[in-house]
Amino acid sequence: MGTSKRYAEQVDRRMGERADEAAIRGMTPTSLTDAELELDSLPLTKTPKPQQVLAWVRYGTVALKVSARAVAWTPRAVALEWESPSGKVERAWVWASAVEASDASAMRKSG
């Protein structure tokens, strides 16, 4: 009896999602520090209409790519909001280079 190649990719993805959820359970996302953000010297852009992005975020040593909303940014960093696998709204600042969006370059240039 063989394996079902039709569903193998879906099963692999679900197993990966469960492993990620287990790895970050009880952890909070790692955010950039105030010193790294340099909000006292860099221009800050806040938007009333968050932009949908894909971004790498860290929970300790675990890196996850999440679908998030960019709610603010500087030329170097982006403030994100997203839902964790458990449904909790998470927030963190990440480096702008960790964010992917069709208008990510516009976010880095504005301010």
pLDDT for 16-49, tens place per residue? 555 556 556 678 999 999 999 999 999 999 999 9
52 DSSP β-pair partners = 69
For the segment 65-73, the average pLDDT, to the nearest whole number, is: 96
Q: Is the pLDDT of residue 91 over 60?
A: yes
Residue % of the chain over a pLDDT of 70 = 68
How many residues in the chain? 111
- The rounded distance, in Å, linking the Cα atoms of 101 and 80 is 13
The tokens describing 81, both together, are 């909001």
SS3 20: helix
Tokens of 100: 């992917």
Residue the block writes with tokens 């469960």 = 18
Comparing CA positions, the residue from 81, 103, 87, 65 lying closest to residue 31 is 81
Range of the domain at 48: 5-109
In the chain, the number of structural domains is 1
**What's the confidence (pLDDT) of residue 85?**
76
pTM of the model: 0.72
